[in-house]
Amino acid sequence: MILDQIKKNLEKQIFAVFGLPKNFEIKWQTPPNPAWGDLALPIFEIAKTPKVQGDEIVKKVQKLKLPASVEKIETKAGYVNFFLEPNFLARGLAKELAAKSLGKKNSGKKKTIMLEFSQPNTHKEFHVGHLRGSVLGQSLVNILQAHGDKVIAANYLGDVGAHVAKWLWCYKKWHDGEEPGADKAKFLSKIYQEAAKKSEANPEHKKEVAQIQKKLEQGDRTLLRVWKKTRKWSIDEFKKIYKILGVNFDIYFYESEEEAPGKKIVEKLRRRGIAKTSRGAAVMDLEKYNLEIFLLQKADGAALYATKDLALAFKKFKKYKIDESWHLVDVRQTLYFRQLFKTLRLAGLKKIFKHLAYEFVSLPEGVISSRSGRMVGFNEIFEKVSGLAAQETAKRHKGWPKKKIERASRAIALAAMKFDMLKQSREKQIIFDPKQALSFEGFTGPYLLYTLARINSIQRRAGRGIEKIKHRDKLKIEPIEKQLLVKLAQFSQITAAAARQAEPALVAQYLFDLCKTFAEFYHAVNVLKAEPAERVWRLELIKNIKQVLEYGLELLSIEYLDEM
């Protein structure tokens, strides 16, 4: 990548001039103001090394020779600032973009990662909280694959357990034989909320729910038939939503399939003395690791999440030959995963596990809760956001046919919802406000789509295909154009950091910054009315911006439009 190549060449000279040790790591920074340079080398880091005296640094900087990639070097406020040569940058970017290699890693050791994400529970409605985990997961799959890793996208559905027993109890007791009609999600959600309230209100009801769970685990035929039928309602609904979102899985795991093997593993851990029996329950004493007591299986033999997760972990590494297992699950499960991973190591599975924690989503009205009913299902919120997008699109394009408005509003709504889930660090909570997310101004998905539509409009008005630039070295590149060149050159580093940190927000923020810089460029210079040489150059620059913007949106799994 062009920026990596420039840094590498500069580092050779810096190491030689300053006499830095081989293990010294140069931590490049990007100056907050383009007037201060394009790359910054912190002097205080170099001053810590044995062979460098503070008062000699400035003299040694003066010994640095300007390579073709650098226009000038300045020392200021504790930094060595490098100003890149814009024509050199433009040439390098043109080659990378022509080869479609910008933002991709083509070398280095490749890992096989199984990324488990989304994981909704059957017999509940897919809500806005599930949306964040699903779009985060899909964008991570895209980013990791672009980085060169092989990724197996996995979804682990909670199709058994206390919540399912509670739902089946309520259904059998008060709704036996009822069919859901067109909106299966609402039907499932309504019964779950009813079950939660009624089971909490009466101790006898709790006992009945426990009996249902035990019967289901023992394979009661009548109950199994109802479970399979109602389970399918949920799974069918989930898959419809995944299709809308463009979320794809290579494999589905189900908790029901892991119960029996999980119980066998727990029994083995007991026999080996790794797990203990406490009041009839199987537990792991992890207190010496500051991880408390970890419950593996109930005293009555009923399986827990841990029972099933132990079995699934062994299956993943044995059957799929993966190098690492990543779990994208909300932050409330942090302790649980630390306990699970420690138990797996003690059980002999010394592999790489990662819990990628993300904060939950709330609405302006409050926190989402399936039990309380304070929950907005995905279908409901998608219809609402699509409706608002359709109204805005119809206002802007009164001549558009209905189908075109529907297609555009759907894409705008999805961009608004997805980008709002991705733009913040996954470690930050989100308050999802549909109206704010749909804004065509500011840090939103529709703003990115609008920028791309504006570029397409410029290209349509430009007419014929973009001409090749003659005498590239003689181009007069304006400061705002150089800012765009530097921004484009940073894309590969951004995608690499996003893969390394498992943080799609880095890509989302980058795309927004790129669009803002393009807006400044668009208002600062003429494109179509420029002199012939500048016109050709600026059309090429716009083409490059479009290519990076489109690819970045694809990494975030956001569909874009030709016009808006």
Give the CATH number, domain containing residue 548: 1.10.730.10
pLDDT of residue 360: 87
CA distance 210 to 204: 10
The CATH code of the domain that includes 286 is 3.40.50.620
pLDDT tops 70 at residue 235: yes
Whether residues 160 and 305 share a domain: the answer is yes
Whether residues 65 and 174 share a domain: the answer is no
Residue type, 450: Y
Closest CA to 242 of 368, 250, 367: 250
Whether residues 15 and 127 share a domain: the answer is no
CA distance 104 to 493: 9
pLDDT tens sequence across 493-524: 999 999 999 999 999 999 999 999 999 999 99
Q: Which H or E run includes 153?
A: strand 150-157
Coil, strand or helix at 82? strand
Whether residues 415 and 276 share a domain: the answer is no
CA distance 187 to 233: 10
CA distance 93 to 463: 24
Whether residues 445 and 541 share a domain: the answer is yes
pLDDT of residue 43: 85
CA distance 171 to 189: 12
The sheet with strand 79-84 has its strands ordered as 39-42, 79-84, 70-76
pLDDT level of residue 371 (50, 70, 90 thresholds)? very low
User: Taking a C-beta distance cutoff of 8 angstroms, is the pair 248, 242 a contact?
Assistant: yes
CA distance 395 to 408: 13
pLDDT level of residue 217 (50, 70, 90 thresholds)? confident
pLDDT level of residue 474 (50, 70, 90 thresholds)? confident
Is the torsion defined by CA of 231, 182, 248, 498 positive or negative? Answer: negative
pLDDT tens sequence across 236-279: 999 999 999 999 999 999 999 999 999 999 999 999 999 999 99
Within 10 angstroms of residue 120's Cβ, the number of other Cβ atoms is 24
Examine the fold and report which residue of 309, 344, 367 is the final residue of a domain before the chain moves on: 367
pLDDT tops 60 at residue 373: no
pLDDT level of residue 335 (50, 70, 90 thresholds)? very high
| Domain-located, residue 560 | no
The sheet with strand 112-116 has its strands ordered as 251-254, 150-157, 112-116, 324-330, 352-358
Whether residues 239 and 188 share a domain: the answer is yes
| Domain-located, residue 541 | yes
Whether residues 477 and 540 share a domain: the answer is yes
pLDDT tens sequence across 128-141: 889 999 999 999 99
CA distance 113 to 495: 17
Closest CA to 69 of 85, 81, 55: 85
pLDDT tops 80 at residue 450: yes
| Domain-located, residue 562 | no
Average pLDDT, the chain: 92
**Cα first-last separation, the chain:** 33
pLDDT of residue 471: 65
Closest CA to 240 of 379, 421, 136, 405: 379
Within 10 angstroms of residue 230's Cβ, the number of other Cβ atoms is 21
Distances (CA, A) of 438 to 104, 248, 382, 447, 506: 30, 25, 12, 9, 21
Pairing of strands 251-254, 150-157: parallel
pLDDT tops 90 at residue 181: no
CA distance 505 to 419: 9
pLDDT tens sequence across 6-53: 999 999 999 998 888 888 899 999 998 999 999 999 988 787 777 666
User: Taking a C-beta distance cutoff of 8 angstroms, is the pair 529, 137 a contact?
Assistant: no
pLDDT of residue 107: 57
| Domain-located, residue 101 | no
In whole angstroms, what separates CA 351 from the centre of its chain?
23
CA distance 287 to 380: 45
User: Taking a C-beta distance cutoff of 8 angstroms, is the pair 163, 227 a contact?
Assistant: no
pLDDT tens sequence across 67-79: 999 999 998 888 9
The domain of 121 spans 117-367
pLDDT of residue 274: 98
CA distance 40 to 36: 9
Give 121's contacts (C-beta < 8 A, 6+ positions apart). Answer: 157, 158, 159, 161, 163, 164
pLDDT tops 80 at residue 376: no
The CATH code of the domain that includes 50 is 3.30.1360.70
CA distance 147 to 108: 10
pLDDT of residue 430: 93
| Domain-located, residue 90 | no
Whether residues 403 and 495 share a domain: the answer is yes
Whether residues 386 and 495 share a domain: the answer is yes
Whether residues 386 and 530 share a domain: the answer is yes
Structural domain total, the chain: 3
pLDDT level of residue 103 (50, 70, 90 thresholds)? confident
Whether residues 341 and 385 share a domain: the answer is no
Q: Which two tokens stand for residue 439?
A: 């804004």
CA distance 524 to 487: 17
Q: How many CA atoms lie within 13 A of 441 on its CB side?
A: 0
pLDDT tops 50 at residue 370: no
pLDDT tops 60 at residue 305: yes
* Span 157-161, average pLDDT: 95
User: Taking a C-beta distance cutoff of 8 angstroms, is the pair 359, 385 a contact?
Assistant: no
| Domain-located, residue 89 | no
CA distance 312 to 314: 6
User: Taking a C-beta distance cutoff of 8 angstroms, is the pair 259, 160 a contact?
Assistant: yes
* Span 428-451, average pLDDT: 95
Whether residues 47 and 164 share a domain: the answer is no
Examine the fold and report which residue of 347, 367, 387 is the final residue of a domain before the chain moves on: 367
pLDDT of residue 465: 63
| Domain-located, residue 161 | yes
Q: What is the dihedral of CA 356, 361, 366, 369, to 10 degrees?
A: -70
Q: What region, left, alpha or beta, does residue 302 occupy, with left being phi > 0 and alpha being psi -120 to 50 degrees? A: beta
* Span 150-166, average pLDDT: 96
| Domain-located, residue 163 | yes
